[in-house]
Chain A
């Protein structure tokens, strides 16, 4: 399968602060990838490096094999981008916004834009500043999609929206994905929204990639082991423990490893129970881990695609 976005040892520094470090990740074509991490983890930086409005301090980033900052027009024509807070010219009417898109993009699809706006019930003669936040986000998405992009980058697209607008936005996004030929990378610090939409996950924390891969594979490759506290150390010795939680009597360990290994562990310790964790439990476990050393600190899950 070909790769839409690939970075290797990508790093970005602002002054003395590293916004992103040692970031090696690849998003296969056709995936809807969630970029998850706390605020300040480097999500925005990674997306800005991918579209080329920011230059890497070190490392490489390639979009469909091109460097975004060295061959900007090749990349820009193929990538749709919705920046954080979906900036739009607030004094423009919606149809003037479309005119901007038409003037500045060679692959612009006016019909697609008009149809999508019609379906959403957004009047084109309305001023953008007078639209609701949800409608503005939708207009920004329409502008990005009418470029006919092969890769769509969305930076916290739903963070500022109310739950209803959030759902409608993600529905629009899923409709666009269903039409085919689109790879999506969207960042968020709210996982619940993304779980329905995404099939690929990149966890970014403390400027580093903690985990990246297919969501199904990630869920299958982690187990939640629960048992009496006194057995916890023996279990931990045989597994890569991502996160552990202890109460007075009981211990809960989130471990990396496949089903068979987990079963074997539990049959050796009959009091222990292996469960499939939810995606949220896995993400929180990875985000909860302190990161200290400069080498990729966490056990990385290698996911062949």
Chain B
């Protein structure tokens, strides 16, 4: 049965393996370069939690700007868990589509054992590939994470345990929809749409607002920001001033806030401080990384579990 399962997953495993190998090559090459730049710039001294030398602000910004295109490119990697999940579950659905499950179930093997083997291998592969992807991305992003933390989307989505949960969830939708429809392409289409909808929905409206209440901090204009603010996820920030709205406008005009000349800005912040204007930030501190990982992974794994349970029930009771 294990040989049969492997033989049936072979093509998908090779495709997935090739994609992951290409990804690994790309990440290792660029990752070594990034680590070199990080080392040569002595940026470790600027990492979070260290007493920051004065030059840090600039060099961290330059480091970020230098690799911003590359980091933006990694947004596409949000599709990797989806792809792995589809490749892991599609061979099972193909079997129902082609009716070959009737061939398997009429050999001397129970449906229960057939299903257990297929699911164990499919999800085992999904978990292993998701874990590999997460480890690779965590290594690659190491220098960035040292400087800016891991809670913002372009780190959080690729690190820790959530990539595994996303992968397992993607495989489960393909499995559940495919088992009921007995059609692979519609199952994959439904999986892509619902995966992206849920991922974007949770990231945009749930994760940073509701997992834990965001922190609010205010501090005088021109003073250094409280530690943790820059490293976590910044929900909103700006200036705050207690007084009537028209008073604020008048005060901003009198301080010349429209000026963009840096030297003039020094004067502006002096003027604002004089009028008791405060800076504020609403943010999630980077120390909440693992808590958020746990909550997000639990959501996706719970949904995946429900989908797999529904599929197993359907296979045992409805499928002939």
Contact = CB atoms under 8 A, between A and B. Distances in A.
Contact of A54 (B98, B107, B320): B320
B140 to A, nearest CB: 36
A104 B107 contact: yes
Interface string B1-14: 10110011001000
A66 interface: no
Contacts of A51: 106
Nearest to B95: A89
Given A53-B111, A73-B110, A77-B108, A91 B11 contact: yes
A83 B103 contact: yes
Interface in B1-54: 1, 3-4, 7-8, 11
Interface of A: 48, 51, 53-54, 72-73, 76-77, 79-81, 83-85, 87-92, 96, 99-101, 103-107, 140, 143, 147
Contacts of B104: 104
Most buried by B among A53, A88, A147: A53
B63 interface: no
Interface in B71-110: 98-100, 102-110
Contacts of A83: 99, 102-103, 106
Nearest to A72: B110
A294 to B, nearest CB: 25
Chain B interface size, as a band, is 20 to 34
B11 A87 contact: no
Contacts of A96: 7
A72 B100 CA distance: 18
A53 B106 contact: yes
**Which 5 pairs from chain A and chain B are nearest by CB?**
A104-B107, A81-B106, A83-B102, A87-B99, A87-B100
Nearest to B106: A81
Contacts of A103: 1, 3-4
Most buried by A among B4, B108, B109: B108
Contacts of A88: 100, 103
A103 B4 CA distance: 8
Contact of A104 (B98, B99, B109): B109
10 contacts: A53-B102, A53-B106, A87-B103, A88-B103, A89-B100, A103-B3, A103-B4, A104-B108, A104-B109, A107-B108
